[in-house]
Structure 1
Amino acid sequence: MQGDAPKPDGQVADAVKGNWVDEIAPEWSRPYLRLSRADRPIGTWLLLIPCWWGLALAILWDGQWGWHDAWIAIASGLGAWLMRGAGCTWNDITDRKFDGAVERTRSRPIPSGQVTVRGAVIWMVLQALISFGILLTFNRMAISMGILALLPVAIYPFAKRFTWWPQVFLGLAFNWGALWAWTAHTGALHWPAVFLYLAGISWTLFYDTIYAHQDTEDDALIGVKSTARLFGDNTPAWLRRFIVGTVSLMAFAVILAMDLEGSMLALVIALAGPWAMGWHMTWQLRAFDAENNLRLLQLFRLNRDTGLIPLIFFAAALFA
C-alpha cells in the first residue's frame, strides 16, 4: 500500500505526462497548481462540459443568442478552472490523511509536504474569490445558483465516509453548471435544465465508478466507500444502467427544451447527441477491465470526448 516515495521533483503520480505545470510553470507555483489539478486537466473539462450543455440547450429553448452567451461560455471556462481548483484544494485538505495512505494519491502536494494546510487554505480562498468576482457579472438567479453550488462542493469530500454512493455527491457538484448556465442565459430555472442535470449525474456515476476502481484495494484497507467497492464484479451491469439513464434523461431534456412544432430536423439532430454519447459510453464499457489501472485511467480521461459529443449535435441543431 505504501508504494514508492514521492518523486523528488514533486510530480504527482497520475499527472498527464509532459503537462505544462511540470514543464514550463515557474517552480514556486507548481505545488499550488498541482493542488488545483492543473496538471490533470480532465476534471476541468468534466466540470465545464455540463455548463456548455446548459447554455446550448437554453439557446435551443428560446432561439435567442448573442455576445452575452459568448461571455457565459468563456466565464464557464474560467469558473470551471478556478472552482475545480478550489474544490480539489478543499478535497485535498479534508483527505490529507487518506491520501497519504493510498499509493496513487500519496504524492499529492499536501501529504508529500509540498504545501502546508495553511498555504492550501489561502490558495483555496484566493481561487474562490476570483471566481466570485466573475459570478457577479451575471443576473441574480445565476449568482444565487453559483453560491448554492458551494453546498455539494463542501459536502463531497466527506461523502465517502458515510455512504457507498459518494459518486452521487460528485455528480451533484460537477454537473451544477448545467443549471447555472441555463439560468445565466434565461434568468430562470426550467425543467429541461433539471433533466439535463440529472443526465449529467448519471454520466458522473458512470465515469467516476470506472475511476474509483483504481483504488478499491487501498480504499478497503482504510475504510473509504465508493460505488466501485459496492458494485464489485457487478460493475459492468451498473455501468450499463448509467448509460441508459444518461441517454434517456438527456433525450427527455432535449424534447422538453425544443419546440415540437418547429423544425423536425433540428429536433432529430439534437436527439442524436445523447444517442451518440451513449454509443461512446458503450464502447468504454466494452473496454472496461477492473484489474487494469492504466486502462481505467485512460477510459476515465476519454470522457472529455464523451461529453463533447452531444454538444456538437446541439450546436448543429441551432442551424438546422
Structure 2
Amino acid sequence: MAHPGTTLHDPISGVQLTFIQTARDTQGRGFAVEILYPPGPGKKGQQPHFHTSFDEQFEVLAGTATYLLDGVEQTVGAGNRFSIPQNIPHLNPYNAGSEPLHLRQWVELPQPDRRMLEAFEDFLETGFGLAAEGRRLGLLQKAVLFQTLQPGSYMVGISAPLQRLIFGVLAALGRMLGYRPRYARFASSEPAPNHKLAHEYHFYDRWLIPASIEQVWESITQIELYTQWWGQVYDEVERLSEGHQNGVGARTRVKVHGSLPYKLSFVVESVEMEWPQMLVVKTTGDLVGTGVWRLRSVEGGTEVGYDWRPRAEFLLVRLLSPFLKPLFRYNHDWCMQQGEKGLLEWLAGARPMKSARA
C-alpha cells in the first residue's frame, strides 16, 4: 500500500514517481504524486485515454512538459500549471526535451471515491513493481489492471460498453492465470519473504467496510461467526480453547472451501491482539503460516488489510503448486471476495453481536 514518501522507480525507462498524498490520507478525496522523467523518453508506451469523473492537475517544477489534448500537442515550461478536463481524450505529459522533467500531478474529486483512487495507486505500484523486476505489462496483465480503472477511465477509439466487455473477458482469463491488479510483494506494508518453496504463498488483501471499526473488529475476531457472514467459504467452526481473557491463545478449528473442488481444514490460533487495530493469527494443519489483520478508521467506515503468508500442506495443493499456483491464487482471491461481500451484507443487516473487547 502506497504511503506519502514512497518512491517507485522504473529501471527500464528511468522514470521515478513519489507519492505525496494518497487516497488514504485524503479520505478518498484525491491523491498527488511527483514524477521525474529523464531526457527524451517521449510518449512511448502511452495510450490516448480520458477520465469520466475528474480533472487532472499538473505543475511543471523543472524542465518542459509536452502533452496531447484532444489531438493537439501542447508544451508547458517550468513554473506553469495546467489541467486536463474530464471526458477529453489526451496523453499525459511526457518529456520530449533534452533536460529532465520534474512534474507534480494531482487529482481532487468533487465526491470522495477511495476505491477508484486506490485502483490508480495499485496500477502505479504494480506497473513500477513489475518493471523493477525487469518485466513489462503483457496483454492479460494490462486487462486486469485496466478493468479496475473502469468506469473512471477508458481508452480512446473503442466504445465504453465494448471496452467493458473486452476487458471483462480478458481480465477474467488473466485472473485465472494468476495475474492480479495488486501483488502482495508490492502492496503489503511488510517486506515480502523470499519464497524458496513452490507451495509457499503471500497474499495481501484490502477491504473497505462502511461500518465502525468496533463492529468490524468484533466480526473478524469472533471466528465462530464466520459461518454466518462468510458462509460461502467457512463450512464448519469448532472452538478448541478460549485462551486468555483478552482472546490471545484462543484456538479454533475451521473447515473451508473455495471455488475449486476441495476443502481445507486447519486450526487458527490468536497470538497477538491490539484492540481494535490488529489481530495476528497462526494456522496449523492444511495451511501453515501467519496472518495479520489490520484495521483503521477512515471516513465512511473501516479499512481492513490482511497480510497472509501460508504454506500449503494439503497434499493436492502442495503437489500441484509448482504447476497450478496461479489457479490456487485465484481460489484465494475468490474466497476473500466472498468475505468482503459477506461482511458488507452482515453489517448492513445490523445483526446483533455480543461485545467482546480484546
TM-score calculated relative to the size of structure 2? 0.25
Of Structure 1 and Structure 2, the greater helix share is in: 1
TM-score calculated relative to the size of structure 1? 0.28
Please say which structure displays the higher CA radius of gyration. 2
Instruction: Choose between structure 1 and 2 for higher RCO, CA contacts under 8 A separated by at least 6 residues.
Output: 1
Of Structure 1 and Structure 2, the greater strand share is in: 2
